Every structure is written in structure tokens, then in C-alpha cells.
Amino acid sequence: MTEKKSLWTKIAFALAIAFFYLPIVYVIFFSFNSSRSLNNFTGFSLQWYQKMFENRTMMESIYYSTIIAVIATLVSTVIGTVAAIGLSKSRKLIKESVTQINNLSMMNPDIVTAIGLMLFYTSLHVEAGFGTLLLAHIIFCIPYVMLSVTPKLKQLDDNIAEAALDLGCTPFQALTKVIIPQIKEAIFSGALVAFTMSFDDFVISYFVTGPGVNNISTYVYSSVKRINPSVNALSTIIVLAITIILIIMNVVPMLKERKKKNEKIA
């Protein structure tokens, strides 16, 4: 009976994984195709990689996606952490209102947030471009950072920061030397969520970006009208980059742990 049970669970899981990875494997395979076809493999070639590196708009889209994700992550992590710390000490009214606004921002369908920001920028006669795109990313990332940091803040013992102040810390020192080290991990995981949200965003970027500024998502969307196998090459590069990042993220903590153990033994 248990034997049978463990078999069907394995099959169910294997099928799901096959479904999830099929398009990824497919894209990598066809990025080496020698013809333009998206479903007929005619031979091995690296021409689509060459074409990708020669395509300026495509390379720029990688650049914009990365630079925006990096800046948006840094800025939203700082603002979000500071705001979450302030909010944890605030009166109930302001705490609840800001939480509600953050929920609104996260639960709103992306397309509504997107057109809201688009209308906002046009009302102020701001020209759409890199700046509007970056600001939009910072705006939608902050609530996710706060969502990650706030629960951790609730667990903190207020007396520790209080003690630091009594012992002569300035409030700034209490913040950087006492509070932030205690919530370091939550800040890091918030930053990670912010980075993924920003790097993957399509809908909001599509509505708030200006001419000439494309991230990977908006580039792929715009190139969909004609068949462009270089997109497969681009996808393969992204898959590769993300796999490397994930491996580093999972291996580095493991090595650290091992090092700690070794030190203990020594």
C-alpha cells in the first residue's frame, strides 16, 4: 500500500517538473538552430548568439533590466527598511493606513498600477524614459521589502535598542549597530524579492517606459510580431545567469556552514 502510494506521488511530481521545464529546455535547444524556424531543428549553429551580440537594442535591454533591478533593489531596500522600522514604533492610525496603502499597491492588478503611474507622470508632464521606469520600479518594490522586514521587527526586544541608547549610543548608532544587525536576514530576503520583482516586471515597465528604453520583458513583447530566434539565445543567457546565481546562493551558505564547523573543530 505504501509502495503504491509513493509511486503515484513520484509520477505526479515528475510530470509537473517536466511541464515546468519543457519550455526552458526547448528554448535552449532551439537557440542553437541553424534556421529561423522555431519548431524545426535543421542543424547546429551559433548564429543567433552572434546576432544577439550584434543587436544593440537587445544588448541594451539586458543592460536596462540589470541596472534598473540593481538600483531599484538598493533604493527600495533602504527606504523600505527605514520605513518599516519607523512604522513599527508609530501610532496605530498611521501604521494601519500605511499598511493598507501597501496592500493596495501589492494586491492591485499590475495593469491598474501601471496605468495609474502613467496617468500620474503625464499629469505632471514628466517625459517617460529611464527615470520614470526606475521610479516606478522603486515604488512597487518597497511594499515587498516592508512585508519581509515588518514581521521580524515585531519579534525584536525593544529593550535592547533602549539599552543601547542608555549606554550612550546616538539613535543613528542604535539603528545601525543594534536594530539592523538583528533583522539582517529579513532585509536580505526582502531585497531578493525586490530584485526578482523588478527584473521580471513586464506590465508596469511596458506602460511607464519611454521610447528607446526597453527592458528584457518589453523587448521580448515588442519582438513578438516577427519571428526572431535571437530571443531564444537571449533566453538561454538569462536561464544560464539565473542558474549560476541560484547555485551560488545555495552553495555559499553551505560552504559557510562547513567553515564554521571546521573552525569549531579546530
Partner 1 sequence: MKGFRRLAYPYAIWAVIFVVVPMLLVLIYAFTTRGNSVLTFRFTLANFARFFSDKIFISVLLRSLKIALVTTIICILLGYPVAYAISRFSPNNQALCVLLVTIPMWINMLVRTYAWRGILLETGLSPEMKVYIGMVYNFLPFMILEVYTSLSKMDPNLSVAAADLGCNNRQVFTKVILPLSIPGVLSGITLVFLPAVSSFFIPKLLGGGSFVLIGNLIENYFVTTGDWNFGAAISLIMTIIILISMYFTRKFDYTEEERA
Cα 255 to Cα 241: distance, rounded to the nearest angstrom: 21
Asked if residue 27 binds partner 1 (CB under 8 A), the reply is yes
Q: Which of 89, 256, 260, 261 binds partner 1 (CB under 8 A)?
A: 89
Closest separation between CB of residue 261 and partner 1, Å? 18
Is 83 one of the binding residues for partner 1 (CB under 8 A)?
yes
Choose which of 30, 48, 64, 144 interacts with partner 1 (CB under 8 A): 30
216-235 binders of partner 1 (CB under 8 A): 216-217, 220-221, 224, 231-232, 234-235
Of 157-186, which residues contact partner 1 (CB under 8 A)?
Answer: 158, 161-162, 165, 171, 175
Q: CA triplet 190, 196, 202: central angle to 5 degrees?
A: 135
Number of C-alpha atoms within 13 angstroms, CB side, residue 102? 19
Q: Residue 136: which of 212, 195, 209 has the closest Cα?
A: 209
- Rounded to whole angstroms, the Cα distance separating 171 from 137 reads 30
Tell the smallest beta-carbon distance from residue 172 to partner 1 (Å).
10
Q: Return the HEC string of 81-97.
A: HHHHHHHHCCCHHHHHH
**Quick check: 5 binds partner 1 (CB under 8 A)?**
yes
18 binds partner 1 (CB under 8 A): no
> Integer distance in angstroms from the first to the last C-alpha of the chain?
49
Rounded to a whole number of angstroms, the minimum distance from the CB of residue 143 to partner 1 is 8
- As a whole number of angstroms, the distance between CA 77 and CA 141 comes to 8
Q: Which of 75, 134, 139, 149 binds partner 1 (CB under 8 A)?
A: 139
Rank residues 17 and 70 by Cβ distance to partner 1 and give the closer one: 17
Query: Measured from the CB atom, is 123 or 265 closer to partner 1?
Result: 123
Q: Which residues of 126-142 are buried (b: 16+ CB within 10 A; e: fewer)?
A: eebeeebbbbbbbbbbb
Q: 3-state DSSP call for residue 31?
A: coil
Residue 71 is a binding residue for partner 1 (CB under 8 A): no
Check binding of 44 to partner 1 (CB under 8 A).
Answer: no
Comparing CB distances to partner 1, the nearer of 240 and 265 is 240
Site string for partner 1, 91-120 (x = CB under 8 A): x--xx-xx--xx-xx-xxxxxxx-xxxxxx
User: Of 123 and 262, which has the nearer Cβ to partner 1?
Assistant: 123
- Please state, in angstroms and rounded to a whole number, the distance separating the CA atoms of residues 133 and 143: 17
Is there binding between residue 188 and partner 1 (CB under 8 A)? no
Q: Which residue from 39, 154, 167, 254 is in contact with partner 1, where contact means CB under 8 A?
A: 39
Provide the greatest CA pair distance for the chain: 74
**CA dist., res. 47 & res. 44, Å (int):** 9
Cα dihedral angle (45, 47, 50, 52), rounded to 10 degrees? -110
Minimum CB separation from partner 1 for residue 259, in Å? Answer: 21
For partner 1, give the closer residue by CB, 91 or 264. Answer: 91
